[in-house]
Amino acid sequence: MNTDLKVALIQTELVWENPSENRRMLNDKINAVSQDADLIVLPEMFTSGFTMNPEAVAETMEGKTIVWLKEKAKEHQAAIMGSLVIAENTNYYNRLVCVEPSGKITSYNKRHTFTLAGEHKVYTAGTERVVFDYKGWEICPLVCYDLRFPVWARNTEDYDLLIYVANWPKIRIDAWDALLKARAIENMTYCIGVNRVGLDGNNYQYSGHSAAYDILGKRLSNLSHNEDTIEIVTLEKAAIKKYREKLNFLNDRDNFSL
């Protein structure tokens, strides 16, 4: 098995509360990935933008977007990850899904709902963190505001890759830059963040700053700020083993449980 993982970061504008138009737009972007990718990462709420009006855009796990993701993953032989609004058991969730070419779906409900925007009033918070295997890589997927809470990302499983999908506004983008890098360093893991660009329906501006960092905090990506763009980064599994064995920082973790 190839120990490298090629990840495509799709930094894009989103059409406000319009799932069908966002699927059409993202279909073209996924088709435009210029080389084979193992994993394609989309922003948070990629079908709608960060809306507090879930009833206008909510789908089910059998809905049009999940069907479309399965088709695209199979077509490109790559897993596709991002979050969307899901209605389930009378609740709404900001749910991250990772759909593999086989049709397998891993899902994670955003734990830290963004109280400043009132997300906690309309979306049900998740209660379980998820770590899953894909092509021999242990991946921990999280969503936007989760980035501010390092305990939730703490690498107790020795996972290999931490991924955040986001709608993180330009006004607080310095925090995004600092925390993404910090999560990579403190967890000795690759860390990827995919953020949107453009203006949303509430007139909030987003400037991207999507990025990938290695386990020592070195930036691997060169995505332009404010631009609707795509980049593929190659992650090397051997580098994780090399530096964890050499430095052993994770061995000195404090023991505690939530």
- Does any domain span residue 220? yes
- Does any domain span residue 257? no
227 is catalytic: no
> How far apart (Å, rounded) are the C-alpha atoms in residues 22 and 33?
17
pLDDT tens-digit profile of 96-147? 999 999 999 999 999 999 999 999 999 999 999 999 999 999 999 999 999 9
pLDDT tens-digit profile of 180-212? 999 999 999 999 999 999 999 999 999 999 999
**pLDDT class for 65, splitting at 50, 70, 90?**
very high
> How far apart (Å, rounded) are the C-alpha atoms in residues 187 and 158?
8
Q: Fill in the DSSP letter of residue 67.
A: H
Residue for token pair 């997300």: 119
For every residue of 21-34, DSSP letters joined together read: HHHHHHHHHHHT--
> How far apart (Å, rounded) are the C-alpha atoms in residues 112 and 126?
8
**pLDDT class for 17, splitting at 50, 70, 90?**
very high
| Residue-range definition of the domain harbouring residue 114 | 4-252
> How far apart (Å, rounded) are the C-alpha atoms in residues 173 and 175?
5
Mean pLDDT of 37-50: 98
110 is catalytic: yes
Per DSSP, what are the bridge partners of residue 80?
A: 40, 99
- Does any domain span residue 258? no
Cβ–Cβ < 8 Å for 104, 121: no
pLDDT at 1 over 70: no
Structure confidence at residue 34 (pLDDT): 75
- CB neighbours of residue 234 within 10 Å: 13
Total count of domains within the chain: 1
The alpha-helical segments, DSSP class H, found in 117-172 are 119-122, 150-153
Cβ–Cβ < 8 Å for 95, 83: yes
- Does any domain span residue 79? yes
Is the pTM for the entire model greater than 0.85? yes
- CB neighbours of residue 125 within 10 Å: 14
pLDDT tens-digit profile of 226-248? 999 999 999 999 999 999 999 99
The catalytic residue among 17, 44, 100, 231 is 44
pLDDT at 2 over 80: no
Instruction: Tell me the longest C-alpha to C-alpha distance in the chain.
Output: 51
Q: 22-26, 34-38, 160-164, 224-228: lowest mean pLDDT where?
A: 34-38
Structure confidence at residue 204 (pLDDT): 97
> How far apart (Å, rounded) are the C-alpha atoms in residues 69 and 160?
24
Which residue, 186, 120, 175, is CA-closest to 153?
186
> How far apart (Å, rounded) are the C-alpha atoms in residues 108 and 40?
17
State residue 50 phi and psi, 5-degree precision.
Answer: -80, 80
- CB neighbours of residue 197 within 10 Å: 23
- Does any domain span residue 168? yes
- Does any domain span residue 181? yes
- Does any domain span residue 65? yes
Q: Which two tokens stand for residue 175?
A: 């925090």
Which residue, 29, 12, 33, 28, is CA-closest to 233?
33
Which residue, 33, 180, 193, 204, is CA-closest to 116?
204
- Does any domain span residue 100? yes
The catalytic residue among 110, 170, 191, 237 is 110
The catalytic residue among 98, 100, 140, 144 is 144
6 is catalytic: no
Q: What is the CATH number of the domain that holds 184?
A: 3.60.110.10
Task: Determine the residue type at 100.
Answer: E
